[in-house]
Amino acid sequence: MIVFRIILIVVVSLFSPFAMAQFEGIKICLDPGHGGQDSDDRPTDLGIGTIYYESDANWEAIGYLDTLLQNLGAEVKITKTTNDPDAPDRQPSLADRVQVANAFGADYFHSFHTNGSSNKSVNYTVVLYAGPSDGVADYPDALIMADIMDDELYKYMKTTSTSARADIPFTGFTNGLGVLNNLNMPGTLSEASFHSNINEGRRLMNSSYRKAAAWSIVKSFLKYYDKPLLPVGEMGGVITDSQGNALNEITVTINPNAADEKIYTGDSFLNGFYFFDRLAPGDYEVKFEKPEYDTHVQTINVQASQYTEVDISLTGGPAVAPATPLLEYVLASDVGTGINAGWQANTEATLLGYRLYYATNDAQTTWRLAADETSMDAQSTSIIIASSNNFIDVPDGDVYHFKLTAVEQSGLESGAGDIYSRSSGMEGEKILIVDGFDRVSGSYANNYHDFATNYFTSIRDSKEAEISTATNEAVASGTINLVDYEVVVWFVGDESTADESISSTEQAKLALYLDGGGKLIITGSEIGWDLDNKGTPGDKTFYTNYLKAQYVSDGASDYSPATGIAGTDFEHLSINFGLTYPEDFPDDITPLNGSHKILKYAVAGKNSAVAYKGIFGAGTIDGALVYLAFALETANQEDQTELIGAALAYFDKTITGFENELTVVKEVELKLYPNPSAGNAYLEITLNSNLDKNWLLTIYNLEGKIMRQSEHNFDIGTQILDLNTSALERGLYWVVLSSHQLVKTLKLVKK
C-alpha cells in the first residue's frame, strides 16, 4: 500500500528562514486526476523503456502541492488516499471526489491533470472551469482563478500556448466535467501540458518537473487570494546537446565549492530537466556538467517569487553517427555501366560526406564501395560515375543495386536507407520505377525497404530495358520527369489517407504523362480507399478518369490469391500476396471509363486489377494502364515477375485483347473552345442517345478546388454551355462533365 503522507520527503521548514502563513484559515481540496493505472489512465510509451501513466504524475504533483500549501498555513484535503494499482480505493468516482470537497467545506477545489492527443505535436496548457460558454462561469471566482492559473502553469511548463475555457464548450459534454459538477465552492481543472508530446512526456517523467508544476499552482493561489508573494524564487530549465537532444544524468551545481553549494542530478528519462527551489534572490554561479561534454559555467540571477528559466546547450560529447541519408534516385547511365545518383543533403555540422555502395548479387549479401567521401563531400547531393570501371571497388561484372550512407568526421557511419536499382549496359525502352511507399505505421513497420529492387528484377528478367529508380518526392519536385520514360512502374504499398497515397501534385504529373501516351503500372492496397472513397473531388476525378476504376469496398487478408480473368492477357496468373508483409485491406475495385478487369480476388465477385489502352483526358496519343489494387511487393519474386512481364507484354501488343468486351462510348461528344482561352470559354455537348439527361458540370483547379459547378438537363442533340471562366486566373483547369453512367474530362488552359 502506498500511503500519501510518506511518498514525499516531508520538509518541515520548507521556507526556512522564510516560513510564512499566507494561507492560514483557508481550506483547499486537491484532486489528483485518474487513478492507479486503470484503463483510463492513458498509458503512453515514450520510447525510454518505461510507460507513462497520467495518474502517477498527477499523484506526485498533488503531493508536492499539498506539502507546499500546508507549509504556507493552508488546511488541505486530498480526494483520495492512495494511487496504488492494487488498492480498491485508488480511483474514486468523480461524484465521490466532489463529495469529499463538499464535506470538507473547502474554500476552493482544484483537479490536476496532464493531457493526451493523437496529434503528437501539440502541447498547450488549458485550465477549465464549470460554465456554459467561454467567459461565463458557474462560480465567477473560478473564472478569475482559471485566468491566473493558466498563465502561471505556462511559465513553468514547456508548452506553446495557454487558455482558460468553460468545460461545456471545451468538452462538448452537455454537463461538462463531472468533477466540477455540484461543487459548493469555486473549482478548476488544469491540463498542465500534453504527455502525448514525446519531449513533454519525458519531462513529465521527471519528479522535479512535477514539482515545478506544483509551484505554479502555489503561485496561482497566492495571486487568487491576493496574498504577499514569497521572498524566494526558483531556477530550472532543460540541458541539451548541440543538436538539441535532451541529455540524461546531467549534473547542475549552484555555487560550486561554496558553503551554500547545491547539487542537482538529472534522471535517465531523456528530458534533461533540472530544478532548484527556495532560492534567496541574487546572483548564482551555476555549473552544468555531463561526462564527455564541455562543462558550462554561467551566472544566473534569481528574483523573489519568480521562476527563472535557463536552457543550456552543452558542446562536445561523444561522437554520434549521422542521420541516414535519403537517396532520391539512381539512374541508368547514358554510357552503359555507370551511375547517376542523387540524395537529400544531411544537416550535421560535423558531416564529412557520403558513401555509395553496390551489391554484388541480387540477394544483396555482399556490398562494396562505388564511391566515398573523397568524391561525395558534405556539400554534395549527387554524383555521376561514367563507368563501373571507375568505382572504388571495380566489379567483375554487372551490378544493379545501390545504397547510400553518411559518414561523420570522427569516422562514424550511418545506416543505409532504401535500396534502389538501375540497369547496367542494357538498352531498349526507358523504364522508371517510382518508390512512393513511405508509410511506416501500417502493415510494414520498418523505416526502410528494398522493394524497388524486386520490381527492378522483375522488369530486368522480363525484357531488355534501360531501368532507373526514383522516389515519388523526386518526381513531385520535378527533379525526375516522367515523360522521359516509356513505362513507369509506381508502387505505394499500403499508403492511405494519413500518408496521402498519391498527392495532388503527383496526380497532375501522372495525368500529363498518360495524356501524352505514357504507360503506367501502379500498385497499392489503399489507393481506392484514399482517393475515391475518402478523397477530394479532384482525387475522385483523377481516380475515375486516369486509374479508370471505381472503389467498391475494403478487402481482407483472405482475398489472396489474385487470379487472372479468362480471355485476357493475364488469365494464366495466380498471385499469392500478403507474404512479405500482411495485406489486410486490399481494395475491391470495378472497371470504369473503358477499362477492363484483369484480375479477381479469391472472394467471389471481388476484383483486384484493371487495364486500359486508349486516350486519357485531353490527350491525342494512346496511353496504357495496369492498376493493381493490392501491394504487389507482398508477393514472392516469381509471382511479381510473372505479373510485371504480363503487363509489359500487354503494353507492347498492338491490340488490347479485349475487343469482345470493349464498348466505345460514342453517345456524348464534347468540344471545348477557345482553348487556350484568354477570356470566356464554351463547351459544346452533343448527346447522341438517351444515355442520361441529368449532368453535373464541375471545373477544378490543379489542387482539386471546385471553381465552378452547375447541374444541367440535356436533350438529344447539340447544346452550348457558357462556362463563365473569364474571371479565372491564368493556369490549368479540369472541366468535368459527369452523369450516373459516364464521366468526361477535358483540360482548359487560361492564358
Q: What is the pLDDT of residues 370-398, one digit of tens each?
A: 999 999 999 999 999 989 999 999 999 99
- Which pLDDT score is estimated for 655? 36
Q: Are 400 and 375 in contact (CB under 8 A)?
A: no
- Which pLDDT score is estimated for 692? 65
> Which residues in 678-709 are b (16+ Cβ under 10 Å) and which e?
eeebbbebebeeebbeebebbbbbeebeebee
- Which pLDDT score is estimated for 707? 85
pLDDT value at 686 more than 70 = yes
- CA 240 → CA 184, 192, 235, 349, distances in Å? 46, 23, 17, 16
**Where residue 325 falls among pLDDT bands split at 50, 70, 90?**
very high
**How far apart are alpha carbons 166 and 147 in whole angstroms?**
11
Q: What is the pLDDT of residues 449-493, one digit of tens each?
A: 999 999 999 999 999 999 999 999 999 999 999 999 999 999 999
Q: Are 656 and 662 in contact (CB under 8 A)?
A: yes
Q: Which whole number is the average pLDDT over 143-168?
A: 97
**How far apart are alpha carbons 369 and 185 in whole angstroms?**
74
Domains of the chain: 4-224 (3.40.630.40), 233-313 (2.60.40.10), 320-419 (2.60.40.10), 426-662 (3.40.50.880), 668-750 (2.60.40.3080)
Can you read off the three cell numbers belonging to residue 557? 487478408
Q: For the chain, how long is the longest CA-to-CA vector?
A: 101
**How far apart are alpha carbons 122 and 564 in whole angstroms?**
48
Q: What is the pLDDT of residues 38-48, one digit of tens each?
A: 767 888 999 99
Question: Position of cell 493531457?
Answer: 115
- Which pLDDT score is estimated for 657? 34
Q: Are 322 and 378 in contact (CB under 8 A)?
A: no
Q: Which whole number is the average pLDDT over 618-632?
A: 94
Q: Which whole number is the average pLDDT over 601-624?
A: 94
Q: What is the pLDDT of residues 252-297, one digit of tens each?
A: 999 999 999 999 999 999 999 999 999 999 999 999 999 999 999 9
The answer to which of 122-136, 218-232, 646-660, 672-686 has the lowest mean pLDDT is 646-660
Q: Which whole number is the average pLDDT over 401-417?
A: 95
- CA 725 → CA 607, 674, 682, 711, distances in Å? 40, 11, 9, 16
